[in-house]
Amino acid sequence: MSDYKLLIGGKLVDGAQTMPVINPATEEAFATCPRASKAQLDEAVAAAKAAFPAWSAKPIAERKKVLLAIADVIEKNAGELARLLTQEQGKPIGDATGEIYGAAAFFKYFTMLDLPVKVIDDSANQRVEAHRKPLGVIGAITPWNFPMILLAFKLPPALLAGNTIVIKPAPTTPLTTLKLGQLIQNIVPAGVVNIIADANDLGGAMTAHPDIRKISFTGSTATGKKVMASAAEALKRVTLELGGNDAGIVLDDVNPKEAAPKLFQSAFQNNGQVCIAMKRLYVHESIYDEMCGELAKLADAAIIGDGLMQGTQIGPLQNRMQYEKVKEFIEDGKKNGRVIAGGTVEDRPGYFIRPTIVRDITDGTRLVDEEQFGPVLPVIKFKDAEDAVQRANASPWGLGGSVWSKDIDKAYALADKMEAGTIWVNKHADLAPNIPFGGAKLSGIGAELGEEGLAEFTQLKIINMAK
């Protein structure tokens, strides 16, 4: 039996099977996780469906109280949750703690929103109202890079809108989410929140389930396409937050010493395992050499280690599959560019790779054209800023991007030409719960966060009355 349980219909239950959870810093199993069967998935959906009428009928003020109670229990257990998150995900304990408190803050934010009836027309002849109604059962599928904060993109707005939910965390990082289920078991009415775990074998059944009305998925573009295809049979609503290959463009008036630490953080936060990390950096030729040198210094100075150890700045890659992929990208960088920092695998247990800077590389190589999702940054030289924007836009992805310059007007003009869901100026990967977030092109469909993100969990209903 596992110390962790599934949450189905308000009860903490064992899985049909169990599976080990690996600490990526040691490559050893440190816990056993329950693994749900298809029958248990069906039970979770049935429980959510049964709970929907009563939950959706509750006044929104009552639903807000539940969200605030969840935020409170997350904060009260932040230490335990953060340690568990570091053990299963690998990130430094300080970053894990920030993620836990951030998740609580996102729950609190959504309690400040409402779904008022909007009057479109109230004339002599008619009154037309726009209502936002809940959809029903939501299926939420979360990834392994930010298990808690990305759950907080989905769970609070889903519940606030009056939906019930079935949550499926990534198989390599299920424990923090299951622990949250244990903590909220007696806070949320039975069946409103259900949490299962699988070995990547229930996604298809979940997305095709006839009683799930919407899938909210964060993950790779390849899997996102499968989710969309599966959801098409029942015309399920989908929100897809998928991969990215975010470009940063640094103009010639930027001071490399000042900008390099911000650029480095933009690329290597969470070991580069961030959908909106800066994954390719275009630098003007006049400051190219100096910028490469500054980035290399930062990479060489970074402290790599177990996330539970004090002083660790960058932990391991989260899983062996990603570790092997990143090693392939490094080999591509060595073949098509020049590695000036990192490029080495740490000689110890764990999925450790030193942060790697690759210069003298250009578009048309794997490292530049694909999403590496790891601690490797290609730095590409450019002469003309308009050309750099065209090269950035040539990617099939369009999640985010950034422009760096002392001339805000010039940076804004270039940002306006970049094709992505979010473009930052003189910063990168800055998210807040009140700012909508979503991708263009192959980076996704729909929006999360903000009022727009809440609306995605509702059905627009028009009431049109003659007078």
Residues 6+ apart with CB under 8 A from 390: none
Cα(218)–Cα(142) distance, rounded to whole angstroms? Answer: 6
β-sheet bridge partners, residue 282? 249, 380
Task: Print the SS3 string covering the chain.
Answer: CCCCCEEECCEEECCCEEEEEEECCCCEEEEEEEECCHHHHHHHHHHHHHHHHHHHHCCHHHHHHHHHHHHHHHHHCHHHHHHHHHHHHCCCHHHHHHHHHHHHHHHHHHCCCCCCCEEEEECCCEEEEEEEEECCEEEEECCCCCHHHHHCCCHHHHHHCCCEEEEECCCCCCHHHHHHHHHHCCCCCCCCEEECCCCCCCHHHHHHCCCCCEEEEECCHHHHHHHHHHHHCCCCEEEEECCCCEEEEECCCCCHHHHHHHHHHHHHHHHHCCCCCEEEEEEECCCHHHHHHHHHHHHHHCCECCCCCCCCCECCCCCHHHHHHHHHHHHHHHHHCEEEECCCECCCCCCCECCEEEECCCCCCHHHHCCCCCCEEEEEEECCHHHHHHHHHCCCEECEEEEECCCHHHHHHHHHHCCCCEEEECCCCCCCCCCCECCEECCEECCECHHHHHHCCEEEEEEEEEC
Q: Which residues are catalytic?
A: 241, 275
Token code pair at residue 201: 């074998």
Q: How many CA atoms lie within 13 A of 175 on its CB side?
A: 26
β-sheet bridge partners, residue 137? 164
The single residue listed with the structure tokens 């630490």 is 261
Residue 60 CA to its chain's centroid (Å): 27
